[in-house]
């Protein structure tokens, strides 16, 4: 049984294991990488990932279903809010452009309106970047109230934010609620 004091240690161990696995996979891939300081996609060896298993492994949040279903599934189990924290998962809403929604893990908070995320499979269909992991990509809050309900995401091919504004539900934080611990 997970005790509240053990949560941080388990998250750190899970992150270390994921980092080691990704480093091993990267060693098998291309030597071409993203220029230092420029957000983009990892040089990969053909490994295809979707956002859900990547976010689950990276954050330690144990939810299932399509990305858009995570917000409701987290209710009562994990803390949710409109404020980003490192390690939290940003849940993109289901739209015609994102029929399964999307998940991105906050790697760092830059300012009240900018974060950096790690996420998988953030690329147009048929793109060579489809299924790859994007690291430290900027995400900008463009919501009128500053509540992270609408964002623009960095688009590496143009080295700027994309024009599309994506609706989001908010952030799921990797802290299991006390009631969920008793289940």
Q: pLDDT value at position 61?
A: 97
Task: Write down the pLDDT at residue 136.
Answer: 94
The ranges assigned to domains in the chain are 4-29+41-181
Helix segments in 28-166, DSSP class H: 51-59, 70-74
Q: Among residues 173, 160, 167, which one has the least CA distance to residue 109?
A: 173
Kindly state the helix (H) or strand (E) to which residue 85 belongs, with its residue range. none
Report pLDDT for 132: 82
Instruction: Give the pLDDT score at 21.
Output: 45
Q: Would you state the pLDDT for residue 13?
A: 56
In this prediction, residue 24 carries a pLDDT of 36
Contacts of 133 (CB under 8 A, 6+ apart): 22, 41, 42, 44, 49, 54, 118, 119, 120
Local confidence pLDDT in tens for the 183 residues of the chain: 445 556 655 655 566 555 444 443 333 333 333 333 445 555 445 567 899 999 999 999 999 999 999 999 999 999 999 999 999 999 999 999 999 999 999 999 999 999 999 999 987 655 566 778 889 999 999 999 999 999 999 987 788 998 999 999 999 999 877 655 555
Which CATH code, of 3.90.1720.10, 3.40.50.1820, 3.40.50.2000, 3.40.50.920, is assigned to 4-29+41-181?
3.90.1720.10
Beta-bridge partners for 152: 140
């Amino acid at each position: 049984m997970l005790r509240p004091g053990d949560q941080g240690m388990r998250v750190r161990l899970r992150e270390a294991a994921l980092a080691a696995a990704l480093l091993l996979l990267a060693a098998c891939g291309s030597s071409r990488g993203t220029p230092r300081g420029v957000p983009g996609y990892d040089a990969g060896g053909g490994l295809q990932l979707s956002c859900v298993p990547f976010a689950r492994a990276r954050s330690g949040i144990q939810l299932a279903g399509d990305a858009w279903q995570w917000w409701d599934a987290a209710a009562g189990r994990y803390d949710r809010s409109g404020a980003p924290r490192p390690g939290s998962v940003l849940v993109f809403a289901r739209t015609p452009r994102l029929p399964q929604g999307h998940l991105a893990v906050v790697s760092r908070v830059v300012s009240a309106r900018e974060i950096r995320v790690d996420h998988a499979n953030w690329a147009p269909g048929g793109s060579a970047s489809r299924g790859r992991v994007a690291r430290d990509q900027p995400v900008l809050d463009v919501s009128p109230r500053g509540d992270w309900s609408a964002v623009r995401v960095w688009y590496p091919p143009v080295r700027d934010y994309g024009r599309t504004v994506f609706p989001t539900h908010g952030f799921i934080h990797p802290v299991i609620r006390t009631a969920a611990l008793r289940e």
